[in-house]
Structure 1
Amino acid sequence: MRFVIVGPVYPYRGGIAHYTSRMAQAAIEEGHEVKVISFARQYPRFLYPGKSDRDPSQEVMRIEADYLLDPLYPWTWERAIKEIDKFSPELVVIQWWTTFWAPAFGWISYRLRNHIKVAFLIHNVVPHEARFFDPWLAKLVLRQGNKHIVQSESQRQRLKELLPKADPVLIEHPLYDQFAEKRMSKEEARRRLGLPEDRPVLLFFGIVRPYKGLTNLIEALALVYQEGYSPLLIVAGEFWEDVEIYKRRIKELGLQEAVRIYNYYIPNEEVPVFFSAADVFVAPYTGGTQSGALKIALAFGLPVVASEGIFIGSNMTFEKEKKHAKLAPRSISESITLYIKTSSYREVGDNGNLPNWSKVIEHILYAI
């Protein structure tokens, strides 16, 4: 099939860029003709909360793309439409994760939908930290799609609330297996990070935002120490809020030797090091329904302690050995303590039944 994917790829960073690249790569490997339309600029600098939206990695996944779109310049939207029409695809797949791109994506889908099928691949119907107008913007844009693809039951329900007549296809988010291919021994990974070999290591990974629940995790860690256990918590990712707030609380709880913070965007070549060093992956999110970092953890076979919403949102009912944790620190600490007491953090789960990228392409192209 001949189709277009609209979304970020390298040199842009983050989970959506990884997703777009991995999806395009899989489609090309399956023999499909693919054109990727990406961004000349993803966000104006003054609106981006991180240090940069560019990927600093030395090891990158390069996908050929036309870098055409700017969120503020409508003439670039028209340029992208002309390139899409010139390619004559059977389908255009637009990545949807933020309402910031609502004007551009809304216009593009409106102009194409009557002569080319347009599908929105939805990561979040509305942003994680939604504002009052986000549902309205999401509805305005997503109703332009001929088809909608969601990756969790909760997002399917959220979409139906906005668009009752929508008939979304549910396709589970596959693993980010490109990192697990470069796994190393636990001893080597901990040597590189300067971590002790005789302590259980908990990994909290990714951009730190309020909904990720790091505050609750730190409180839970204090409770674990009160029980007489001494795991080491690794926080690996750039903070999009004041890191000093967390450092002060860590100090107040006497956890300075229990937490190590790596406050920067983790480049691709370092991702396998952190996940290879870990015993348990923790994702005590207070909001959101799925996690790209969780998909990396599962690819590494790591046990997971996460809030129930993340388990359900990631369709993880098959992972019966994984323990659910509610949002309260006490519940999180009990789940962590259980792994430590039973040494089950050393077990590697069987993730062979998880969907791969080829299956995603198959569903996208033939289920719509």
Structure 2
Amino acid sequence: MANIVIIGPVYPLRGGLATYNERLAKAFQEQGDTVEIITFSLQYPSFLFPGQTQYSTEAPPVNLQIKALINSVNPLSWVSTGLYLKKSRPDFIIFRFWLPFMGPAFGTIARLAAQNNYTRILALTDNAIPHEKRIGDVPFTKYFLSACQGFITMSRAVLQDLEKLQPNKPKVYHPHPLYDNFGEPEPKAEAIKALGLDPAYQYLLFFGFIRAYKGLDLLLEAFADERLQALPVKLIIAGEFYEDAQPYEQIIKKYNLEHRLVRATEFIPNSQVVHYFCAADLVVQPYKHATQSGVSQIAYHFNKPMLVTDVGGLAELIPDGKAGYVTAAQPQAIADALLDFYTRNREAKLVANIPELKKQFSWESMVSTMKQLAQSLAPHSGNSARS
């Protein structure tokens, strides 16, 4: 069995990264491994955080060993964390890397930890090239990536990016596992009732933090299509704005869409996720560019078909015509697919395909992939990782 450290957001921080990291830790524990999670005492300074709060209001996860040691803007915390890991000698460390801003902290910690000539350094890499460009992205990312021995990606697009940035280091692809920690599916009628929605309508779902690259504006433009206006369909927008809402409000006003929307534009707690997905007929991800999306893996868990745009790694996971639709990132293409879904009654056929398709997205397989990668890395001394 292995002694593993995961570094990244977890409780009391909120959001998809925290949810994933907690579920990954439990997956290792289910295999008999010892897991410690090191998270942030300060993840972002408040002036850099676009949402309402960084912190969860829900109960903490049970049976997880969590230490909040890292202050993202305090180098002293990076040094103390790195020295702690150097001394504690885990078999391998998995850094959850999603943003260049974390590069200096993570790169410093990784270098210090590796000085014990035993611990292997892995990166679970969401993005090698960020969705939204900022000053410092390139040097911060290079500083971190150069401190790692191996990489796991959840999209082939990121794998290709890493091949360019770190061509001589091992890297493996494994699709994002299912988010199976939001409860069991519930009947659509119960979910609609739980959300206080009108059962006379059918519902589309846009879910997650609202940022420019996620294409909510494309979906609103598509939803304004006069062919869709004739259908008893409403769009649920469930997620907090992480940018100025005004451009979206202008589209809503321009096309008089307000009466066709259900607004839930705040952070959706984990306990409510089941209702939003189970109330929907189709989950729509109209991204302008992307790597992978945890939203797809929530939809799969709840047996919901999806519409995704043909960008990044989204189409890898949602076979067109089987789990849903893959369209161009254009309002017309999105509108055509939505019209096809409702007028040709596609839901039942697509839902029937999902149970078989989602078998490939297991946590056990992800854990096995990570451990195999760690064991393939030559240790700096004669020691080898326990397994």
TM bracket (short chain): over 0.9
Structure 2 residue matching 1:40: 3-state secondary structure: strand
Match of 1:44 in 2: 45
Q: Within the alignment, does 1:288 sit opposite 2:270 as a pair?
A: no
Q: Within the alignment, does 1:209 sit opposite 2:211 as a pair?
A: yes
CA contact (8 A) 2:157 2:312 kept: no
Query: Which amino acid in structure 1 is aligned with residue 165 of structure 2?
Result: L
Match of 2:93 in 1: 92
CA contact (8 A) 1:97 1:126 kept: no
Alignment counterpart, residue 363 of structure 1, candidates 346, 355, 369: 369
Match of 1:333 in 2: 335
Superposition pairs of residues 123-272 of structure 1, within 5 angstroms? 123-131=126-134, 133-179=136-182, 181-223=183-225, 225=227, 228-272=230-274
Q: For 1:263-310, what per-residue CA distance to the aligned partner results, in whole angstroms no more than 9, with x for missing partners?
A: 110001110010110100000000222111121011111111111115
CA offset at residue 7 of structure 1?
A: 0.9
- Mapped to 2, the partners of 1:367 and 1:344 lie a distance apart of 41
CA offset at residue 131 of structure 1?
A: 2.6
Query: Which amino acid in structure 1 is aligned with residue 171 of structure 2?
Result: P
CA contact (8 A) 1:224 1:230 kept: no
The two structures, once aligned, show a CA RMSD in angstroms of 1.9
For normalisation by structure 2, the TM-score amounts to: 0.89
- Mapped to 2, the partners of 1:176 and 1:317 lie a distance apart of 19
Structure 2, gaps ≥5 residues long: 375-387
- Mapped to 1, the partners of 2:40 and 2:60 lie a distance apart of 21
- Mapped to 1, the partners of 2:300 and 2:270 lie a distance apart of 17
Q: For 1:125-171, what per-residue CA distance to the aligned partner results, in whole angstroms no more than 9, with x for missing partners?
A: 12221235413321221011011111111000111122222331111
Match of 1:55 in 2: 56
Match of 1:29 in 2: 30
Closer, same or farther: CA 253–120 of 1 in aligned 2, 3 Å? same
Q: For 1:179-228, what per-residue CA distance to the aligned partner results, in whole angstroms no more than 9, with x for missing partners?
A: 1x332211111112122223221000000000010001000001154573
Query: Which amino acid in structure 1 is aligned with residue 372 of structure 2?
Result: Y
Closer, same or farther: CA 226–32 of 1 in aligned 2, 3 Å? closer
Match of 2:114 in 1: 113
Closer, same or farther: CA 133–77 of 1 in aligned 2, 3 Å? closer
Query: Which amino acid in structure 1 is aligned with residue 121 of structure 2?
Result: V
CA contact (8 A) 1:58 1:269 kept: no
Closer, same or farther: CA 46–227 of 1 in aligned 2, 3 Å? closer
CA contact (8 A) 1:92 1:118 kept: yes
Query: Which amino acid in structure 1 is aligned with residue 368 of structure 2?
Result: E
Closer, same or farther: CA 15–319 of 1 in aligned 2, 3 Å? farther
Closer, same or farther: CA 210–296 of 1 in aligned 2, 3 Å? same
Match of 2:15 in 1: 14
- Mapped to 2, the partners of 1:359 and 1:313 lie a distance apart of 21
| Comparing 308-317 and 169-178, the one that deviates more | 308-317
Q: Percent identity?
A: 32
CA offset at residue 46 of structure 1?
A: 1.2
Query: Which amino acid in structure 2 is aligned with residue 233 of structure 1?
Result: L
Structure 1, gaps ≥5 residues long: none
| Comparing 310-319 and 84-93, the one that deviates more | 310-319
Structure 1 residue matching 2:259: 3-state secondary structure: coil
